[in-house]
Amino acid sequence: MATLPNPLPKLASDPSGRSLGLQLPPGRLIDTTDEGVWHEPLLWHAEQSASSGNWTALGGTAGRAGLVPVLVDLGGSQGGPSEWELMPAAVSYPGDHDAEEILAEYWEECAADGEEWPGLAAPGTLTADPDARAAQIADTLAEQGPSWFGSPHVALVPARRSADVPAAVGWSGPANHEHDVARLCAVLRSWEDRFGIRVVGLGFDVLAVSVAAPPGTLAEAEPIAAEHFAFCPDNVLQGPGTLEAYAQQLVGEPTWTFWWD
């Protein structure tokens, strides 16, 4: 795998990002990990909390610079990314993993005895452009006030695609379920391809994705619910309690959120 160039170091001497074709507000580079200072910045985030339109304003030009937008929560009880114990040294490459194999493995660990892995859900039908849906959901998260995210701030991450953002920063939010977040990113890549998802928000242990091809019926939602259960058992076990009840919540839903206890 070729190393992805990281444009973030340029922001140390060019905070506005003009050399990258950007017009950034005041922000901060994050290079703090669980093992100390990383050899290069892992992400940049704005100092001010996000507002409607921020994502759209940065997204297109950031992509041309090799950066992917995401909202990061600085208002949680665990603080912002500099306090999250990021673990980039522990992360492999998402492309080295197979999404179905990973989900089947998780299913065997978490499902009741005798429940067979149902396999991957069929691809959905796009109801919106994936990037436009991501901008819409980002605006919603920025506008709705404290919910999953206490204080979302726009961030930029050097990554090949949105699904790789958690791995690119060494996110440790799901550590109680999976220590190598790249394996979860392999699943996110599959969801990108099948459901048009984009990673729009990261908190200390919370992940939010926009969904451009949500299930339109309960029958379509049920196999997706099984994938979600394997991916993040707490969504079901500490939520509605059953896969059927959880699947009902997914019908037509343009945002999927995940929380690992």
Domain boundaries, the chain: 30-259
| CA atoms of 15 and 118, how far apart (whole Å) | 49
Identify which of 243, 235, 226, 237 has the alpha carbon closest to the alpha carbon of residue 206. 235
The DSSP-derived string for 29-79 is EE-EETTEE-SS--EEEESSPP-TTHHHHHHHHHHHTTEEEEEEESSSTT-
Question: How do beta strands 197-202 and 67-73 pair?
Answer: parallel
Q: What is the DSSP letter of 78?
A: T
Q: What is the pLDDT of residue 255?
A: 97
Element (H, E) at 27: strand 27-30
User: Which 3 state secondary structure label does DSSP give 92?
Assistant: coil
Q: What is the mean pLDDT of residues 55-75?
A: 92
Specify the DSSP element, H or E, that contains 210. strand 206-211
Q: Which of residues 59 and 230 earns the better pLDDT score?
A: 230
- With a threshold of 0.75, does the pTM exceed it? yes
Q: State pLDDT tens for residues 175-228.
A: 989 999 999 999 999 999 999 999 999 999 999 999 999 999 999 999 999 999
Dihedral of the alpha carbons of 54, 59, 65, 67, in degrees to the nearest 10: 90
How far CA 236 is from CA of 112, 124, 192, 208, in Å, comes to 13, 21, 22, 16
Lowest-pLDDT range, 1-5, 69-73, 123-127, 231-235? 1-5
- pLDDT higher than 70, residue 2: no
Instruction: Give the pLDDT band (50/70/90) at residue 1.
Output: very low
pLDDT for residue 165 is more than 70: yes
Mean pLDDT of the chain: 94
Cα→Cα distances 7→42, 75, 163, 252, Å = 10, 27, 19, 37
Q: Looking at residue 146, what is its pLDDT? A: 56
**pLDDT confidence tier of residue 144, bands split at 50, 70 and 90:** confident
Q: Are 212 and 196 in contact (CB under 8 A)?
A: yes
Q: What average pLDDT does the segment 108-112 reach?
A: 88
Interacting residues of 3 by C-beta distance below 8 A, sequence separation 6+: none
What does DSSP assign to residue 76?
Answer: S
Q: How far apart are alpha carbons 167 and 38 in whole angstroms? A: 14
Half-sphere exposure (CA, 13 Å, Cβ side) for 68? 23
